[in-house]
């Protein structure tokens, strides 16, 4: 099995919109537990790729497999989320009038959630899961505050926590540090490092310093005109003349 250890496998994915080719035979795979950063100039196809993986856009051609043999190209968004892919969009969408704890509770897998949703009614295991997530997302001290009172960065962490309550195997994060303070950005890097290994992560990010800080010696993929232009460590891709051309030649 050549796909052993691979959580996401894209081969020759093409997406065309009315004759415009947004993805052009894009091939890429992500290893189990890997944190993969995706970079590329505007219009490179990053969002379209995430749309294909999350089922929002159906590929015109090519194959997309998740886990052992789940064919993403034939599933809808809800089915893909249920299969274990969680996506976080750029803008946080938390329930502002609910507390942080209630937000996590509402995000729990429905088969694990109790109704009415009252923290006191949660089982020990459910409360433990929420407690562990609160620590991970650095919001233990904000647990009982309405989410609307959190900072922008804290809301982003809460949304990551809400995704985690769904127990995803693969997390897709779109510009997770956009609009964050330097301190929040640094803590987000730590958080993503803690998730690495337990989950597989695909992170689309424009902030190159942040990418360098979280990628370490891991692989970075550079998209350009709907295909993979380069792949390698951050220092390898930054030294690649084709990558320099794409970023500077505009």
Distance in Å, CB of 249 to ligand ADP, minimum: 17
130, two tokens = 């929420």
Distance in Å, CB of 58 to ligand ADP, minimum: 12
How far is CA 4 from each of CA 9, 13, 19, 232, 237, rounded to the nearest angstrom?
11, 20, 36, 20, 26
Of 36-44, 68-76, 115-123, 153-161, the segment contacting ligand ADP by CB under 6 A is 36-44
Of 44-52, 93-101, 137-145, 165-173, the segment contacting ligand ADP by CB under 6 A is 44-52
Q: Site for ligand ADP (CB under 6 A): which residue of 1, 4, 19, 42?
A: 42
Of the pair 40, 92, the CB lying nearest ligand ADP is at 40
Question: Quick check: 40 binds ligand ADP (CB under 6 A)?
Answer: yes
Cβ burial, residue 81 (10 Å; 0-12/13-18/19+): middle
Distance in Å, CB of 230 to ligand ADP, minimum: 15
- Which of positions 221-250 make contact with ligand ADP (CB under 6 A)? none
User: Residue for token digits 């003349």?
Assistant: 241
Cβ burial, residue 36 (10 Å; 0-12/13-18/19+): buried
Q: Return residues touching ligand ADP (CB under 6 A).
A: 17, 20, 22, 40, 42-48
């Amino acid at each position: 099995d050549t796909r052993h250890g691979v959580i996401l496998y894209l081969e020759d994915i093409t997406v065309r919109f009315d004759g415009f080719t947004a993805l052009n035979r894009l091939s890429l795979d992500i290893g189990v537990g890997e944190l993969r950063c995706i970079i590329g100039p505007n219009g490179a196809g990053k969002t379209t790729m995430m749309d294909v993986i999350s089922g929002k856009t159906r590929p015109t051609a090519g194959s997309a497999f998740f886990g052992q043999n789940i064919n993403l190209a034939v599933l809808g968004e809800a089915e893909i989320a249920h299969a274990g892919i969680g996506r976080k969009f750029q803008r946080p969408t938390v329930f502002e009038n609910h507390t942080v704890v209630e937000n996590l509770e509402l995000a729990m897998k429905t088969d694990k959630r109790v109704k009415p949703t009252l923290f006191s009614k949660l089982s020990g295991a459910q409360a433990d899961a929420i407690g562990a997530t609160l620590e991970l997302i650095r919001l233990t001290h904000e647990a009982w505050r309405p989410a609307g009172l959190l900072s922008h960065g804290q809301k982003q962490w809460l949304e990551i926590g809400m995704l985690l309550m769904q127990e995803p195997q693969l997390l897709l994060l779109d510009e997770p540090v956009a609009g964050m303070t330097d301190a929040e950005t640094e803590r987000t890097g730590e958080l993503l490092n803690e998730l690495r290994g337990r989950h597989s992560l695909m992170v689309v990010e424009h902030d190159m310093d942040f990418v360098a800080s979280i990628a370490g010696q891991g692989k970075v993929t550079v998209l350009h005109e709907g295909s993979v232009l380069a792949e390698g460590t951050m220092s390898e891709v930054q030294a690649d003349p084709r990558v320099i051309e794409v970023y500077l030649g505009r």
